[in-house]
Amino acid sequence: MPSDPTPLTARRNGPLAGAARVPGDKSISIRALILGALTVGETRVTGLLEGEDVLNTAQALRALGARIERTGERAWSLRGVGVGGFAEPAGVLDFGNSGTGCRLTLGAVAGCPITATFDGDASLRSRPMRRVLDPLQRIGARTLHSDEGRLPLTLAGARDPMPIVFEPPVPSAQLKSATLLAGLAAPGETVVIEAEATRDHTEKMLAHFGAQVRVERIKAAGRRITLTGQPELEPRPVIVPADPSSAAFPLVAALIVPRSDVILRGVMMNPLRSGLLTTLVEMGADIERLEERDEGGEDVADLRVRAGSLRGIEVPAERAPSMIDEYPVLAVLAAFADGTTVMRGLKELRVKESDRLAATAALLRVNGIEADIQGDDLLVHGRGRPAGGGVVTTHMDHRIAMSAIVLGLGSERPVQIDDGTFIATSFPGFVELMRGLGADLS
């Protein structure tokens, strides 16, 4: 686990250049481990993200009875216990900083007749769990101990899980996924009705492992997902594509550091994750998709990114689910654009690894950038190259840390962050990868 704070400083250097591949997608990596743990037989995963969030989830799944081994670089082998087959863990399951690992495992445990205690670091302990406990209780799980729906909490899984129809009150892939994973153990059909579609990795991977999953479009942006419970999951290889949410950092850095020309390889292009690309193109960014192809059931492409002038735009609220983790780094980019960028509908940012709405505005302001929060909207006023020179408080939040570093690569004066250790939750090797492209980080 991250221990002593490690400050980091980013400063202007020459253009960024070269090619790089960012680590595997965090959402897919965590799901591959959980589904592998629920499958009898050997599941092989290649390209797994070897970040703290994923490793903590693997440790929890081992405590629940799965066998998980690293067989090579980013290559992992799992032997699972079958749907409903988790064993009662001897100790507390510690998810560290990982909301996704914790919430999805809560769902998987909710369908098993065992009791388990879930915990995490100070950031995860401050995040809401009630939203996920509500559907799990309807399925038949019981919360034995929890402080107002926060960690640490003890969950008793259902002895006779019931299929439910659930309409998440907020657009959240974690909430949808936890419900579907609990529904795996229930007889009959578990249905999740989303008013706004969120990332669909759970439903795609369930189908990949042989479960019956039906996805129907409803209204303009919604989806109805129907899972037939108690499937025999069959082991299938999983190939993890490069994480678009991690690619966002070198991508934005290449757009704001003058004369940069960078290629990012194998980036996942799933449309439910591509809102940032849509937005950047609207702002005038020079991004070329090369070698578009299929890798392990996901569209991927190499992205060639060149620096150039950008203009402020309005980003509609409906786009938020497809770029929810990218707003801090988009806000940094907006400071370099010409005019104001308005980002609407950012309520969910308040309950991420930190209050990301407040943390993003603070990171900009301490570096001389004008930013306003109006209700759930963030406005960033771009006025040429920002001053920089600030020390950013990262609040145990990897994406705030990396966004601040990107800012420092383009601003007049260096930007310092109080702690870079949490970057390892999602992007191990971030500093080395950025240095390889020419960034000055110390």
> What minimum distance in Å lies between the beta carbon of 318 and ligand S3P?
15
**Candidate residues 39, 174, 403, 416; the one interacting with ligand S3P per rule CB under 6 A:** 174
Length of the chain: 442
Q: Is 325 in the site for ligand S3P (CB under 6 A)?
A: yes
Q: End-to-end CA distance of the chain: give it in Å, rounded.
A: 22
Binding of ligand S3P by 29 (CB under 6 A): no
User: What's the CA gap between 46 and 48, in Å, rounded?
Assistant: 5
Nearest to 226 by CA among 184, 174, 168: 184
Containing 68, the helix (H) or strand (E) segment is: strand 67-72
Strand 440-441 versus strand 8-11 pairing type: antiparallel
In whole angstroms, the minimum distance from the beta carbon of 332 to ligand S3P comes to 18
Choosing from 39, 116, 185, 199, the residue that interacts with ligand S3P (CB under 6 A) is 199
Active site residue 160: no
Q: In the bound complex, what is the minimum distance in angstroms from residue 54's beta carbon to ligand S3P?
A: 11
Per CB under 6 A, the list member of 177, 179, 246, 360 interacting with ligand S3P is 177
Is residue 57 near ligand S3P by the rule CB under 6 A?
A: no
What are the backbone angles phi and psi of residue 370, rounded to the nearest 5°? -85, 125
Contact set for ligand S3P, span 66-125 (CB under 6 A): 100
The residue (of 129 and 310) whose beta carbon lies closer to ligand S3P is 129
> At closest approach, how far in Å is the CB of 27 from ligand S3P?
3
- Residue number, 174 or 246, with CB nearest to ligand S3P: 174
Give the one residue of 57, 97, 172, 403 binding ligand S3P; rule: CB under 6 A.
172
Based on CB atoms, which residue is closest to ligand S3P, 166 or 336?
A: 166
- Rounded CA separation 282/153 (Å): 44
Q: Which of 325, 376, 418, 419 is flagged as catalytic?
A: 325
Distance CA 350, CA 124 (A): 13
Residue 55 three-state SS: helix
Which of 27, 123, 354, 411 binds ligand S3P (CB under 6 A)? It is: 27
Q: Which string of DSSP letters, residue by residue, matches 191-233?
A: EEEESS----HHHHHHHHTT--EEEEEETTTEEEEEEESS---
Residue 168's alpha-carbon distances to 34, 63, 219, 222, 353, in angstroms, are 21, 29, 16, 11, 20
Nearer to ligand S3P among residue 54 and residue 211 (C-beta): 54
Residue ranges binding ligand S3P (CB under 6 A): 27, 100, 172-174, 177, 199, 324-325, 348
Catalytic residue numbers read 325
